[in-house]
Chain A
Amino acid sequence: MTRGSPSPLAGEVARSRAGGGVCSGRWSSGQALVETAVTLPILIALFFGFLGAGVAAQGFVDLNTAVYLAAASNVTAPAANLTNPSGPSGEALAQQYANDTFDHTLAHDSLLRKISFGCPGTLADYAAGGTITCSGTAVLEFSKTPLSIAIPFDPTISAQARATRSAYRSVPVP
């Protein structure tokens, strides 16, 4: 094709824009097709993104609740094991209460897999008025859901909670 001769496509475009050509409908449907092809993947990605954010928020709330209740269980455990003096100490009992609460609550969430949980503290933290900090970590398993198409990894999330023991415990820890 030489520089001076108009291309057949240019003529078609000109007729189409003028609105009188036979190709007018074909042009606009082609334009709509291109727009859809560009926009649809973005909208689908947005859709999966919103759902993923919702599931992630749900996982965070569940883990936070489990850690929060575990910390509350820890500080409401007996200060000393009076019913079974040869059994676990008061601190061990408190830790066991917290572990039981955390494990049982997390077990009801099929998308969270426990990695670690603990309420480390000194002996003073287990005494009347002491404050304990519990931390829990879990994996949010997107791979168990259809969302794994859009979110191909399982993030690790963690939560912390602090709780203070009553200042009026029946048995003070030395």
Chain B
Amino acid sequence: MVVASFVLVTFAAVSAAFHSIQRAMAETAAASGVQVAASGTPGDPNTPDMAGAYAPTKKLLESVMFGTTIEPGPSSPSCGQGIPDATLQVCVYPDGDLVAETIRGRPGFPVPWIDQVLPWNIDVTVEMHQVSYQP
């Protein structure tokens, strides 16, 4: 009984720590992506570069999202809907004068069957005022 409890608590601690690392990286990735999105598009400095946010975000996410598919999502807050497990969507969209980036989904877990049980979803949204350029 004690051994079983000990193993359970140890497993819970390790998986919670792993989720914390993944979520912290998602936050960092979203912050780096939204800065690109909030800056200007090449050739049109007053238009946010929505498409440019995906590449830096994906590059950072890949380092900790083992066995997870990372894909671009729709340009709206309805991000990560109807996607399979072990998939994350990166959505960049305007919100008034700000640009928002959302990373949403359920990342893969090192122990395959356990991610069905644990609610380790990732749902991170950051926003930044778009950069404007004046003559």
Instruction: Determine how close the nearest CB of chain B comes to the CB of A57; give it in whole angstroms.
Output: 5
The answer to whether B23 and A58 touch across the interface, beta carbons within 8 angstroms, is yes
In the complex, chain B residues whose CB is within 8 Å of the CB of A58: 20, 23-24
Asked whether any CB of chain B lies closer than 8 Å to the CB of A72, the reply is: yes
Asked whether any CB of chain B lies closer than 8 Å to the CB of A116, the reply is: no
Instruction: Determine how close the nearest CB of chain A comes to the CB of B107; give it in whole angstroms.
Output: 15
Instruction: Determine how close the nearest CB of chain A comes to the CB of B110; give it in whole angstroms.
Output: 17
Asked whether any CB of chain A lies closer than 8 Å to the CB of B28, the reply is: yes
The answer to whether A76 and B131 touch across the interface, beta carbons within 8 angstroms, is yes
The answer to whether B129 and A51 touch across the interface, beta carbons within 8 angstroms, is no
B: interface residue count bin: 35 or more
At the interface with chain B, which of A5-13, A98-106, A126-134, A149-157? A98-106
In the complex, chain B residues whose CB is within 8 Å of the CB of A35: 2
A: interface residue count bin: 35 or more
In the complex, chain A residues whose CB is within 8 Å of the CB of B55: none
The answer to whether B132 and A78 touch across the interface, beta carbons within 8 angstroms, is yes
Instruction: Determine how close the nearest CB of chain A comes to the CB of B124; give it in whole angstroms.
Output: 8
In the complex, chain B residues whose CB is within 8 Å of the CB of A72: 35, 128
Instruction: Determine how close the nearest CB of chain A comes to the CB of B6; give it in whole angstroms.
Output: 6
Asked whether any CB of chain B lies closer than 8 Å to the CB of A32, the reply is: yes
- Bound together, the chains give a CA A158 to CA B97 distance in angstroms of 26
The answer to whether A54 and B134 touch across the interface, beta carbons within 8 angstroms, is no
Asked whether any CB of chain B lies closer than 8 Å to the CB of A43, the reply is: yes
The answer to whether B134 and A171 touch across the interface, beta carbons within 8 angstroms, is yes
In the complex, chain A residues whose CB is within 8 Å of the CB of B38: 73, 76
The answer to whether B95 and A69 touch across the interface, beta carbons within 8 angstroms, is no
Instruction: Determine how close the nearest CB of chain A comes to the CB of B39; give it in whole angstroms.
Output: 8
At the interface with chain B, which of A16-24, A60-68, A137-145? A60-68
The answer to whether B31 and A68 touch across the interface, beta carbons within 8 angstroms, is yes
Asked whether any CB of chain A lies closer than 8 Å to the CB of B17, the reply is: yes
The answer to whether B19 and A54 touch across the interface, beta carbons within 8 angstroms, is yes
Asked whether any CB of chain A lies closer than 8 Å to the CB of B114, the reply is: no
In the complex, chain B residues whose CB is within 8 Å of the CB of A44: 9
In the complex, chain A residues whose CB is within 8 Å of the CB of B126: 65-66, 69, 105, 108
The CB with the most chain B CB atoms within 10 A, among A54, A57, A58, is that of A54
Our pick among A65, A66, A68, A82 for the contact of B134 (Cβ within 8 Å) is: A82
- Bound together, the chains give a CA A32 to CA B6 distance in angstroms of 14
Nearest 3 Cβ contacts at the A-B interface: A104-B127, A108-B125, A50-B13
23 A–B pairs (Cβ distance < 8 Å), ordered by A: A32-B1, A32-B2, A35-B2, A40-B2, A43-B5, A43-B9, A47-B12, A47-B13, A50-B16, A50-B17, A51-B12, A58-B23, A61-B23, A62-B27, A65-B28, A69-B35, A76-B131, A77-B132, A98-B129, A100-B97, A101-B98, A108-B125, A171-B134
